[in-house]
């Protein structure tokens, strides 16, 4: 099934696990892929070329609107359009109790996760308005649904992302642009899961043990399905939200949380 044949998707955070897994799923259904990341993209692009669709990588710092606007213009010139946007770039930030949370890190997380996401959303939606429509999915988080412990910056940025999604959905609806978000919970395996376990163990709060093996059990124990989600379980929901199967859905945040 080639639901996205002839369409171009822009994926930010394209060098990361979620971005690359999602790009692979879209490429498998015929989409042309524009990967965007501040990190090197050669390896990710090489993995996607086996799908036989057009793939290009673009280096971009999403915290700079000038860089984002320039990159979006380049993508439109290379691909002819941006039909779909997976607005996915983000960082976890530090793990610490609020009264000790590093001020500089709070600013940095907000700058990347919220301001950077706004930059991409604004630049791409301006193009979509001109072309007559499009579909956008923002990556939020369960941390933006129920305030996470020891993650003040990340939680605040993701709460704001859900609110930005709802406003964008209303503002862009008159132009035929749908905007939704996804909120993954505990996802793994890999760097982000391991980092979260290790840093929660190091904080020394009442919520998690100092032994990482116990922290793993505490996290999994909070999930009704009693497991973390797999990275590969994220792309199908993104694809549903970007497909015609969800043509009457906008302004919605879908939780991928195992029941949390």
User: Per residue of the chain (260 residues), what is the pLDDT tens digit?
Assistant: 799 999 999 999 999 999 999 999 999 999 999 999 999 999 999 999 999 999 999 999 999 999 999 999 999 999 999 999 999 999 999 999 999 999 999 999 999 999 999 999 999 999 999 999 999 999 999 999 999 999 999 999 999 999 999 999 999 999 999 999 999 999 999 899 999 999 999 999 999 999 999 999 999 999 999 999 999 999 999 999 999 999 999 999 999 999 99
Q: Where are the chain's structural domains?
A: 8-187+231-256
Q: List pLDDT tens digits, range 3-12.
A: 999 999 999 9
Give 15's DSSP letter: T
Q: Confirm whether 101 is a catalytic residue.
A: no
Write out the H or E segment, with its range, that includes residue 254. Answer: strand 253-256
pTM: 0.97
Span 8-187+231-256 CATH architecture: 3-Layer(aba) Sandwich (3.40)
For tokens 């090489």, the residue is: 46
The predicted-structure confidence for 176-200, as pLDDT tens digits, reads as follows 999 999 999 999 998 999 999 999 9
3-state secondary structure string across 113-132: HHHHHHHHHHHHHHHHHHHC
What gap in Å lies between CA 96 and CA 27, rounded to an integer?
39
Catalytic residue among 154, 208, 228, 248: 154
Question: How far apart are the C-alpha atoms of 83 and 177, rounded to whole Å?
Answer: 10
């Amino acid at each position: 099934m080639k639901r996205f044949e002839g369409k171009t998707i822009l994926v930010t955070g394209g060098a990361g696990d979620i971005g690359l897994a999602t790009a692979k799923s879209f490429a498998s259904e015929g989409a042309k892929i524009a990967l965007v990341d501040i990190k090197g993209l050669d390896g990710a692009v090489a993995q996607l070329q086996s799908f036989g669709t057009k793939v290009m990588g673009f280096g971009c710092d999403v915290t700079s609107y000038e860089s984002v606007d320039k990159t979006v213009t380049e993508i439109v010139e290379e691909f002819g359009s941006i039909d779909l946007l997976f607005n996915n770039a983000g960082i976890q930030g530090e793990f610490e109790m609020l009264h000790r949370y590093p001020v500089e890190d709070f600013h940095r997380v907000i700058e990347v996760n919220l301001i950077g996401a706004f930059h991409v959303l604004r630049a791409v939606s301006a193009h979509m308005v001109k072309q007559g429509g499009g579909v956008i999915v923002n990556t939020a988080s369960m941390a933006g649904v129920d305030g996470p412990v020891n993650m003040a910056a990340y939680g605040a940025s993701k709460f704001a992302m859900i609110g930005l999604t709802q406003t964008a959905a209303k503002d862009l609806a008159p132009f035929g642009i749908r905007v939704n978000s996804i909120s993954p919970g505990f996802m793994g395996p890999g760097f982000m899961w391991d980092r979260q376990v290790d840093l929660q163990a190091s904080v020394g709060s009442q919520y998690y043990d100092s032994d990482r093996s116990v922290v793993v059990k505490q996290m999994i124990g909070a999930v009704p399905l009693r497991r973390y989600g797999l990275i590969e379980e994220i792309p199908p929901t993104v694809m549903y939200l970007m497909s015609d199967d969800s043509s009457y859905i906008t302004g919605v945040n879908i939780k991928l949380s195992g029941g949390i």
